[in-house]
Amino acid sequence: MAKQSDQVHAPVGGRLFTPMFFGLGLLVLVAGFFLFNRFVFGLGSVTNLSDGYPWGIWIAIDLVVGTALGCAGYAVALLVYILNRGEYHPLVRPALLASLFGYALGGAAVMIDLGRYWQGYNMFLPWLSQYNSVMLETALCIAAYITVLMVEFSPVFLERLGMKNIRRRLDKVLFIFIGLGVLLPTMHQSSMGTILVVLGHQLSPLWQTQLLPLLFLTSALFMGFAIVVFEAVLASVGFRRPMEAFILNKLSTVMAWLLLGFVVVRIADLLFRGDIVLAFRANLDALMFWVEIALHVTALVLLWPRRIPASPRRMFLSASTMLAAGAVYRINCYLVGYHPGDGWNYFPSVGEIMVTVGIFALEIMLYLVFVKRLPVLHTVDRAYREEHAAQAREGGAAAVGQAT
Amino acid sequence: MALNRRDFLKLATVDGAVGAAAAGSTMLAADTASAQLLQRPPRPMPEEAVGLLYDSTLCIGCRACQVACKRANGMPIDIPETYEAWNGGTWDTPTDLSGDTLTVIQVYQDGTMEVKDRETDGFAFIKRQCMHCTDASCISVCPVSAMTKDPVTGVVTHHPDRCIGCRYCVLACPFGVPRYEFDNPFGQIQKCQLCTNVPDRDIPACADVCPTGATLYGRTTDLQQEAERRLGMAPGETYRFPRGALGDDRASHEAPIAHYQSAVYGEQILGGTQVRMLAGVPFADLGMPHDVPDYSYASITEGIQHTLYKYFIAPAVLLAGLVYFAYKNARSHRPEDWD
C-alpha cells in the first residue's frame, strides 16, 4: 500500500454570498415559518400526521433517508482506515463533513418531530432507559455518533486555527474514534430496520422481514458510497477542480457488489417466504415495490464494472440512481408499506415538505460555507495532478483529467 | 486495480460481524411459522392480572360506558369533523379512539341490518379500548419507560412526565390504542388505564355503569372462566349475566345465551390480552386484528436485539477489531504537515 503522506487540504475560497446561497437561505426561512407554527399550535397544525400515521416524512426522509445520506463518513472510514485502502484518503474529509451535517440535521428533525421535546433529555437518563427499546439503542447510538463525528472532523478546525499541539495530541487517540465511527453506524443503521419488525402485520410482507436490519445496513453502506461520488462530481464541476475519477471508478466496483448483495438477499427473502405474490397485485404497494427494485437494478447495470472507466456523467447518474433506490426502499418501509387499518391515509402537507426541503437546503448551505472557508477538500497542485496521472497510468485508466 | 472479490469478502467480514450474525440466523428463522429462531420466550401474565370481559352480544350500544369514561377521566367531548355540520357542539359523538376518547362503541353493519349479532343482514357492537396486552408492544418500544405494566395487576399504565412524544407506541400498537393530541402544542399520549389513574375508583367506570353486563370487570383468569362457561351453554338457554365486577353483589341481568363465535378473543392473540371478548360475528368484521400470530411481535424484535447485543459481546469484539485496524492503518496515512 502506497503511503498517502502528501494529502494536504485547503479551503476552496471564493465568495460566500452567492445567489445560490440566498436562494437556499430563503428555503430555510420558509421552513422556519412552518416550524414556528408547529411549536406554537402543535404538530397537527402543520403536518398531516394522525394516530394512523404518527410518523411522516420528518422521520422517513429527514431522519431515515437523511442519516443514510450521512453514511458517507462511515463508508469511507471503513474503506480507508479499516480495509487500509489509502488511495481513497482524499475522500475522507468531505465525506466526514457530509456525515456531520446529515446526522446533526437528522437529529434536529427528530427534536422537531418529538411531541414532548422539552422532555427529550429523558432519553439520556439511565434510570428511565428501557433496554428492550430498539429506539433507545438507535437514539443513543446516533447521539454518540454525532459526537464522534465532531471529534473526527475537529482536525479541520484545529488546522485552520493553527493549534498544532492539540492536533498532535488528538491524533494519538484518533484511532479510537475512527473505530467508534465505524461501529456506531453499523449498530444504528441496522437498528433502523429492526425498529420496524415490531410492526408485525401492520407492515406489508413485501417489506416486513427479520432481515430488515441486514437490508438497512447494506443500503446505508451503498448510499454512503453513492453520496461520496455524488458530492465529488458536484464539487469538481461546481468548483472547477479535477475529479478523483480514478478513485471514484474503483469505488464503483465496491458499490456494485454491495448493491448486488442487497438485491439478491431482498428477492431471495421474498421468494423464500412466498410473499413475492404480493408484488403482482394492482395496488400502490406493488407499484412502489417495482419502482424500488427497478431503481436498484438500473443502478447496478450503470455501475457494473467495465474496462473503460465511467465518464463523470455516468458516475453521477449511477450515484443518483443509487441514492434514489435507497431512499425509495426506506420510504417504502417507513410509510408506503405501513397499513394501520381502514380509514387512515397520509400524504405530507406543504408545511412538512417545506420543512424537509429547508433542512436539506441548510445542509447544502453549511457544506458550501465549510468547504470554502475550512481545509476540507484536498489542495489541487501540480504534485497532486501528477500523482493522479501516475495512478491512472498504473491502472490503465485515462479518465483523470476529464473534468478539468 | 479495482476491488476484487477477495476484497469484497474482506469488506463483508469486517463490517459484518454484527450483520452476518443477523443474516445467518435470521435466514434460518425467516418465517418458519410460529417457531421464530430469534425470539425470546413469551411473557407470562401476572397471576392477579385484572381486565374486562366485553360480550358484544349483550351490548345494546347505549354508550353509557363512553360517557362514564369521559367523566371519570375528565376528558372533553369529541366531535369528528364530518359531524360538525349538524352537531351543535354539546353532544359527545366520537367514532374512534382519540386524544379525547379512551373508549368508544363502534358498530358493524351489513345489508338490511335486521338481526343483531348476525354477520349477513345484521349488525353488532364492539367496544374499543386498551387491551392491556400480556406482552405489550407499547412497553417494549418505549425508550424512556413511559409505558409500564403493573407487576401485580398487569394494567398497562402511561406516564406523561417521562414521555418524550416520539409516538412509537402509537405506531407499534397492533390494536391502534395509544393516541396523541396532535392539536395541542404540549400534547400527550392518551390511553385507557382501567381507571387505575382515577382516585377512589374500585372498578373501571365503563364496567361500573354498563346496564347489561356487556362490560364486566374482574381477574382475567376468572373472566376467562366466565367466558368459557357462556361458550359451553346452548344458544337460547337463559343465563344470569353478572354486572359490574365479577363476584360483586349487584343484581344480575337475565338473558338468553346468544350464538357465539367459537373462541374467546384475547386468550392467545398476539401473546394474549387481559381484556377478553366474546361476539356473535367474526372479530374481523368488528375491525379487530385477525389472522395474526399467537406471539407478541415484541418477542421477535427483542429476540433480534438481545441476540445481537447479548452482554454487548458482539459490539465489543467488533469495536476491538475496528480500533486495532484503525490504529494500524491510520499511522500509514498520516500527512507530513502534522509535524
Distance from the Cα of A264 to chain B's closest Cα (Å) equals 13
Residue B266 C-alpha cell reads as 384475547
Q: What is the pLDDT at residue A386? A: 67
Q: Any CB–CB contact under 8 A between A345 and chain B?
A: no
pLDDT tens, residue by residue, B173-222: 999 999 999 999 999 999 999 999 999 898 999 999 999 999 999 999 99
Preferred mutation among B3, B27, B34, B310 to probe A, highest tally of A CBs within 10 A? B3
- Percent of chain B clearing pLDDT 90 (strictly above): 70
Alpha helices of chain B — where are they, by DSSP H?
Answer: 5-29, 64-73, 137-141, 168-172, 205-209, 220-232, 297-308, 313-332
Residue B249 CA to residue B228 CA, distance in Å, equals 22
B261: region left, alpha or beta (phi > 0 left; psi from -120 to 50 alpha)? beta
What own/partner pairs with CB < 8 Å and gap ≥ 24 does A212-215 have? A212/A333, A213/B19, A213/B22, A213/B26, A213/B304, A213/B308, A214/A190, A214/A265, A214/B19, A214/B22, A214/B23, A214/B26, A215/A262, A215/A265, A215/A266, A215/A329
- Which among A40, A168, A194 is the nearest to B304, CB-wise? A194
Nearest to B173 by CA among B183, B162, B186, B158: B158
Any idea where the domains of chain A sit in the sequence?
Answer: 19-43+56-342+361-399
Q: What is the pLDDT at residue A402? A: 38
Q: What is the pLDDT at residue B36? A: 62
- Which among B300, B324, B336 is the nearest to A197, CB-wise? B300
pLDDT tens, residue by residue, B246-263: 988 899 999 999 999 989
Preferred mutation among B6, B10, B15 to probe A, highest tally of A CBs within 10 A? B15
pLDDT tens, residue by residue, B54-98: 999 999 999 999 999 999 999 999 998 888 888 888 889 999 999
Q: What is the pLDDT at residue A147? A: 95
Q: What is the pLDDT at residue A78? A: 87
Residue A119 CA to residue B159 CA, distance in Å, equals 12
Q: What is the pLDDT along chain A (404 residues), one digit of tens a residue?
A: 333 434 578 888 888 889 999 999 999 999 999 999 999 999 999 999 999 999 999 999 999 999 999 999 998 888 888 887 777 788 888 899 989 999 999 999 999 999 999 999 999 999 999 999 999 999 999 999 999 999 989 988 888 888 888 888 888 888 899 999 999 999 999 999 999 999 999 999 999 999 999 999 999 999 999 998 888 888 888 777 777 766 777 788 888 899 999 999 999 999 999 999 999 999 999 999 999 999 999 999 988 867 666 778 888 899 999 999 999 999 999 999 999 988 899 999 999 999 999 999 999 999 889 989 888 887 776 666 666 666 555 544 434 333 33
- Which among B1, B10, B182 is the nearest to A42, CB-wise? B182
- Which among A171, A190, A341 is the nearest to B18, CB-wise? A190
Q: What is the pLDDT at residue B21? A: 45
Question: Cβ A50–B182 below 8 Å, yes or no?
Answer: yes
Question: Cβ A257–B167 below 8 Å, yes or no?
Answer: no
Average pLDDT of the segment spanning B39-49: 91
- Position B13 pLDDT exceeds 60: no
- Window 247-306 of B: residues touching A by CB (8 A cutoff) are 270, 287, 289, 291-293, 297-298, 300-302, 304-306
Residue A148 C-alpha cell reads as 464522534
Preferred mutation among A132, A140, A158, A171 to probe B, highest tally of B CBs within 10 A? A132
Q: Any CB–CB contact under 8 A between A56 and chain B?
A: no
Give yes or no for a contact between A66 and A109, defined as CB atoms under 8 angstroms apart. yes
Preferred mutation among A38, A111, A130 to probe B, highest tally of B CBs within 10 A? A130
Question: Cβ A265–B23 below 8 Å, yes or no?
Answer: yes
Contacts of B329 in chain A (CB under 8 A): 80-82, 84, 86
Q: What is the pLDDT at residue A390? A: 64
Q: Which residues contact B293 (CB under 8 A, 6 or more apart)?
A: A200, B34, B270
Distance from the Cα of A382 to chain B's closest Cα (Å) equals 17
Residue A63 CA to residue A325 CA, distance in Å, equals 16
Q: Any CB–CB contact under 8 A between A82 and chain B?
A: yes
Question: Cβ A179–B291 below 8 Å, yes or no?
Answer: no
- Position B269 pLDDT exceeds 80: yes
Residue A272 CA to residue A215 CA, distance in Å, equals 16
Chain A: residue whose CA lies nearest to B312: A187
Q: Any CB–CB contact under 8 A between A267 and chain B?
A: no
Q: What is the pLDDT at residue A310? A: 72
C-alpha distances in angstroms, A296 versus A74, A147, A306, A318, B238?
21, 32, 18, 10, 65
Distance from the Cα of B330 to chain A's closest Cα (Å) equals 6
pLDDT tens, residue by residue, B139-177: 999 999 999 999 999 999 999 999 999 999 999 999 999
Contacts of B323 in chain A (CB under 8 A): 175-176, 178-180
Q: Could you tell me which residues are beta bridge partners of residue B122? A: B115
Nearest to B309 by CA among A141, A269, A120: A141
Nearest to B49 by CA among B300, B293, B292, B276: B276
What is B53-102 written as a DSSP string?
EEETTT-----HHHHHHHHHHT------GGGTTT--SSS---SS-BTTBS
Q: Any CB–CB contact under 8 A between A249 and chain B?
A: yes
Domain covering B50-298 in this structure, CATH number: 3.30.70.20
Question: Cβ B297–A198 below 8 Å, yes or no?
Answer: yes
Q: Which residues contact B309 (CB under 8 A, 6 or more apart)?
A: A137, B315
Give yes or no for a contact between B238 and B256, defined as CB atoms under 8 angstroms apart. yes
Question: Cβ A139–B143 below 8 Å, yes or no?
Answer: yes
Q: What is the pLDDT at residue B10? A: 47
Residue A75 CA to residue A71 CA, distance in Å, equals 6
Q: Is residue B26 very low, low, confident or very high in pLDDT (cuts 50, 70, 90)?
A: very low
Residue B79 C-alpha cell reads as 366531535
Q: Any CB–CB contact under 8 A between B137 and chain A?
A: yes
Question: Cβ A211–B145 below 8 Å, yes or no?
Answer: no
Chain B: residue whose CA lies nearest to A202: B174
- Position B33 pLDDT exceeds 50: no
Alpha-carbon dihedral B25, B30, B31, B37, rounded to 10 degrees = 10
Which 3 state secondary structure label does DSSP give A164? helix
Distance from the Cα of A93 to chain B's closest Cα (Å) equals 13
Average pLDDT of the segment spanning B127-148: 97
Question: Cβ B176–A122 below 8 Å, yes or no?
Answer: no
Q: What is the pLDDT at residue A380? A: 72
Chain B: residue whose CA lies nearest to A397: B1
What is B289-318 written as a DSSP string?
--S--SS-HHHHHHHHHHHHTGGGHHHHHH
Residue A398 CA to residue B89 CA, distance in Å, equals 76
Residue B106 C-alpha cell reads as 363502534
Contacts of A1 in chain B (CB under 8 A): 332
Residue B128 CA to residue B177 CA, distance in Å, equals 8
Query: Domain A19-43+56-342+361-399 class?
Result: mainly alpha
Q: How many beta-carbon contacts under 8 Å exist across A and B?
A: 292
ipTM of the complex: 0.89
DSSP-derived letter for residue A60 is I
Task: Kindly report the average pLDDT of chain B as a whole number.
Answer: 87
Q: Any CB–CB contact under 8 A between A269 and chain B?
A: yes
Q: Any CB–CB contact under 8 A between B176 and chain A?
A: yes
- Which among B182, B304, B329 is the nearest to A44, CB-wise? B182
Give yes or no for a contact between B19 and A190, defined as CB atoms under 8 angstroms apart. yes
Give yes or no for a contact between A126 and A101, defined as CB atoms under 8 angstroms apart. no
- Which among B304, B315, B327 is the nearest to A210, CB-wise? B304
Q: Any CB–CB contact under 8 A between A165 and chain B?
A: no
Give yes or no for a contact between B47 and A296, defined as CB atoms under 8 angstroms apart. no
Q: Any CB–CB contact under 8 A between A217 and chain B?
A: yes
Question: Cβ A164–B338 below 8 Å, yes or no?
Answer: yes
